[in-house]
Amino acid sequence: MYNLPLMKTTPRLISILLLVLCLMNLPVQAEKPALVADTIIVNAVIHTMDTAQPTAEAVAIYANRIVAVGSSRDISKLAGPNTRTLDAKKRLLLPGFNDAHTHFLSGGFQLSSVDLRDANSPQEFAERIKAFAAKTPKGRWITGGDWDHERWSDAKLPAKELIDSFTPETPVFVNRLDGHMALANSLALKLAGVTRQTVDPPGGVIVRDKSGEPTGVLKDAAQSFVWKVIPPATFDERLAAARAATNYAAKLGVTSVQDVSAGTDVGVYQTLLDRGELKTRIYAVAPLPAWERLANTGVRAHFGSEMLRVGGLKGFSDGSLGSTTALFYEPYRDDPSTSGIAGDEMYPEGAMLKRVLEADRAGLQIMIHAIGDRANDAILSTFEQVERENGKRDRRFRIEHAQHLRSQDIPRFARNSVIASMQPYHAIDDGRWAEKRIGKERAKTTYAFRSLLDAGVTLAFGTDWTVAPLNPILTIYAAVTRRTIDGKNPKGWVPKQKISVDETVRAYTVGSAYAEFQDHIKGSITTGKLADLVLLSRDIFKIEPEEIENVKVVLTMVDGRVVYEERERE
């Protein structure tokens, strides 16, 4: 199924490793250095995320590895006539950011799709689609969008009538930013065969008006009616999207991503890698229902090269808060008729447990999406049962989002070594309206970063791009301040759950690397690890937390090469 190149033990790699071993025991001050570095970065403020050496001024790189970390004076001695010397000018140098949860190829497509994220009214939503449709060839689908009806004054869901008049020959299927519901126009519904007689599928909802007519909004599994009739993107279109995504990531200091919806996109990433165009390390995660196909290849967790790997599986236990499909023990306050729906992996009864048991037995890594408190409880119980039946080992189970938790479930993450893979930007986005859905009491343990860390839980941070912006700086700002994007919580929404800059960066580097079994080669600026680095315009450890969101990336390095460098302003 996958055609990944195996890592080769080349003479160059052996020499690098030998040099690293030498440097670990040889003072940098030696008159004749053990090697001449390819690149050195000096005059920096380095937060290494390595507890053995928390700070430094300079770093030396040979090929794709860090070979020395120390003072500018000592590191400068490793420079030769062909060494590239980068002066950091007292700016902050960090390990490259590792986004633990993205939809990477979808993000690449969204960069060239209609942008509805900040449409602040139904009228603006419609106008943007109208303008995009005017330049879209007849018959070609309009997808993407990432709209958010919670930005609108009435917060009502859109309906197909908003866009039908100017899209009679252009099928439209634009999703809400969380990906758990989308709006189809009448043409798209017709092509999909969705009518008032169509029955809601398990794990999905067809939203209907008072007369029973579909409004065009399809939630969770109901979206599959339309997905199956959308022509698949060509390989070249997918390649262009992947190229756009990796270039965009480089500009933001994102050096690694864990693409939790990669599916069959591995070949696209491999093509970029073979062409020397891949600027991002990728852990390509397949859907949980595909576990048997992946297991039959003999692949296990985190198989592949340092740039591209497979072996992870992602499943769903529920929907989302914004779509009122996240699964809770209590009903929604603003829609008491529902407490959410179980995700597609929960049908038929017992399917989730069976799939996780078998996939884990095959040595694959399991990551399950869980938003509501009932969904999180169910997945924690599933993981506990799987460990009892399959025995203890270093499996690194993950819950993706771990968003709304009961206080009694928080210690279970640490007790069972379950990683909380979380996206802090969601807190300052959802925080605008979450309490109308679940109330103040349940919100106390929403995005419970502080409580989880205090309980000894490993956090792995990411963005859920395109659901949230890919920019790591906004993620750090969100975790540290919890100031909602509407400006109504200047001291932070649920401020008791704030965490420090150091804790946030650690979750975004060391934590994310651990979550993909790669903490031995990345996540910190440590001798012997991969040279993935990011230089920031300001020191986020010293400035006021409220100023963090304005910090920019100056330089990004992946695998020892500069993949992005901000041009000096004239």
Res. 27 pLDDT band, cuts 50 70 90: very low
How many structural domains does the chain have?
A: 1
Q: Among the listed ranges 45-59, 132-146, 422-436, which one has the minimum average pLDDT value?
A: 132-146
pLDDT at res. 28:
45
CB 23 within 8 A of CB 59: no
> How many residues does the structure list for the chain?
570
With tokens 């690149």, the residue in question is 39
Asked if residue 458 has pLDDT above 90, the reply is yes
Asked if residue 323 has pLDDT above 80, the reply is yes
What is the residue range of 121's domain?
A: 113-227
Asked if residue 352 has pLDDT above 70, the reply is yes
The identity of residue 334, as a single letter, is D
Residue 364 lies in a domain: no
**DSSP 3-state percent helix, strand, coil across the chain (nearest 5):** 35, 20, 45
Q: What is the DSSP string of 225-287?
A: HHHTTSPPPPHHHHHHHHHHHHHHHHHTTEEEEEETT-TTTHHHHHHHHHTT---SEEEEEEE
pLDDT at res. 348:
61
Q: Mean pLDDT of all residues in the chain? A: 92
At residue 402, the 3 state secondary structure works out as coil
Q: Among the listed ranges 232-246, 270-284, 399-413, which one has the minimum average pLDDT value?
A: 232-246
556, containing H or E segment: strand 553-558
Give the Cβ contact number of residue 82 at 10 Å.
8
Distances (CA, A) of 144 to 17, 127, 266, 432: 45, 15, 21, 23
Residues forming beta bridges with residue 555, ordered by sequence position:
535, 565
Q: What is the 3-state secondary structure (H, E, C) of 435-474?
A: HHHHHHHHHCCECCHHHHHHCCCCEEECCCCCCCCCCHHH
Residue 389 lies in a domain: no
pLDDT at res. 562:
97
Segment 452-465 shows an average pLDDT of 98
The identity of residue 274, as a single letter, is D
Residue 47 lies in a domain: no
CATH number at residue 162: 3.10.310.70
Residue 306 lies in a domain: no
Q: What is the pLDDT of residues 328-349, one digit of tens each?
A: 999 999 999 999 998 766 556 6
pLDDT at res. 345:
63
Residue 199 lies in a domain: yes
Q: What is the pLDDT of residues 182-234, one digit of tens each?
A: 999 999 999 999 999 999 999 899 999 999 999 999 999 999 999 999 998 89
Asked if residue 561 has pLDDT above 60, the reply is yes
Segment 287-309 shows an average pLDDT of 94
Q: What is the pLDDT of residues 161-178, one digit of tens each?
A: 999 999 999 999 999 988
pLDDT at res. 169:
93
Separation CA 223–CA 389 (nearest Å): 35
Residue 262 lies in a domain: no
The identity of residue 23, as a single letter, is L
pLDDT at res. 8:
43
Separation CA 172–CA 393 (nearest Å): 47
535, containing H or E segment: strand 533-536
Asked if residue 25 has pLDDT above 60, the reply is no
What proportion of the chain, given as a percentage, has pLDDT over 70? 92
Residue 26 lies in a domain: no
Residue 150 lies in a domain: yes
Separation CA 289–CA 306 (nearest Å): 26
pLDDT at res. 1:
38
Beta strand extents in 294-364 (DSSP E only): 303-304, 308-316
CA dihedral 375, 381, 385, 452 (to 10 degrees): 110
Q: What is the pLDDT of residues 4-14, one digit of tens each?
A: 333 444 555 55
Evaluated on CA atoms 440, 446, 449, 451, the torsion sign reads: positive
